[in-house]
């Protein structure tokens, strides 16, 4: 059964519809490309399976699934992020960092979550100042990001800047809901200004 709307043929989808014959056109007159649709669907499925494998602690399996996803959809930020998580769990920190940088490039450097994950990898690599800067970037984007405050504290603590570290830990453990994001940004600016003066 076919329906025509405004001179365009609509072919029903589902188990009874059958496949679209080669050369036929989908809605809008564009050629129907089942391979492209299938690639996106398969890529998303592999990415989701990779996340499940990560949670199960099957890191190598997860890595393989994320890489299969990326082979089908190389611009998928979530797959690059998952690949980085799997590589981090496998102790391959430089490769994880490269995956995170690819994800950040695709996301336009606008994701606090990616900045925090990058900070974690940099902490493993003992690049403490760079990790601290990543946490600060995350906090500029999301001033109430608990993990950004936590890992900022870790970086500061490992740098021997204990007073600042404990302030960051306190913000992570007791988010200030009364004054909100604006106050957190102001405190972050004060911390950075105090460190600049001390240098």
The domain boundary residue, chosen from 46, 76, 108: 108
Percentage of the residues of the chain whose pLDDT score is greater than 90: 65
Count of the separate structural domains present in the chain? 3
Residue 119 located in a structural domain: no
pLDDT class for 189, splitting at 50, 70, 90?
low
Measure Cα distances from 87 to 69, 75, 81, 99, 112 in Å.
15, 18, 10, 9, 20
Percentage of the residues of the chain whose pLDDT score is greater than 70: 69
Given this model, what pLDDT does residue 104 score?
Answer: 96
Residue 118 located in a structural domain: no
Given this model, what pLDDT does residue 173 score?
Answer: 86
Say whether both 63 and 86 belong to one domain. yes
Provide the domain limits for residue 2: 1-32
Say whether both 41 and 28 belong to one domain. no
As given in the structure block, the two tokens for residue 58 are: 């099957």
Alpha-helical runs (H) found in 20-161: 34-56, 59-72, 77-89, 93-107, 112-124, 128-141, 146-158
């Amino acid at each position: 059964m076919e329906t025509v709307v405004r001179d365009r043929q609509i072919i029903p989808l589902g188990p009874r519809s059958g496949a679209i014959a080669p050369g036929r056109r989908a809605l809008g007159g564009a050629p129907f490309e089942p391979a492209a649709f299938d690639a996106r669907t398969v890529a998303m499925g592999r990415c989701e399976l990779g996340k499940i494998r990560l949670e199960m602690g099957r890191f190598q399996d997860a890595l393989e699934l994320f890489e299969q996803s990326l082979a089908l959809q190389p611009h998928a930020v979530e797959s690059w992020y998952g690949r980085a998580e799997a590589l981090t769990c496998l102790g391959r920190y430089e490769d994880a960092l490269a995956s995170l940088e690819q994800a950040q490039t695709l996301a336009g450097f606008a994701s606090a979550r990616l900045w925090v994950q990058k900070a974690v990898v940099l902490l493993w690599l003992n690049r403490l100042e760079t990790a601290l800067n990543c946490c600060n970037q995350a906090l500029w984007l999301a001033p109430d990001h608990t993990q950004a405050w936590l890992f900022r504290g870790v970086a500061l603590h490992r740098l021997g800047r204990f007073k600042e570290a404990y302030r960051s830990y306190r913000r992570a453990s007791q988010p200030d809901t009364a004054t909100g994001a604006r106050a957190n940004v102001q405190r972050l600016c004060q911390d950075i200004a105090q460190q600049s003066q001390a240098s």
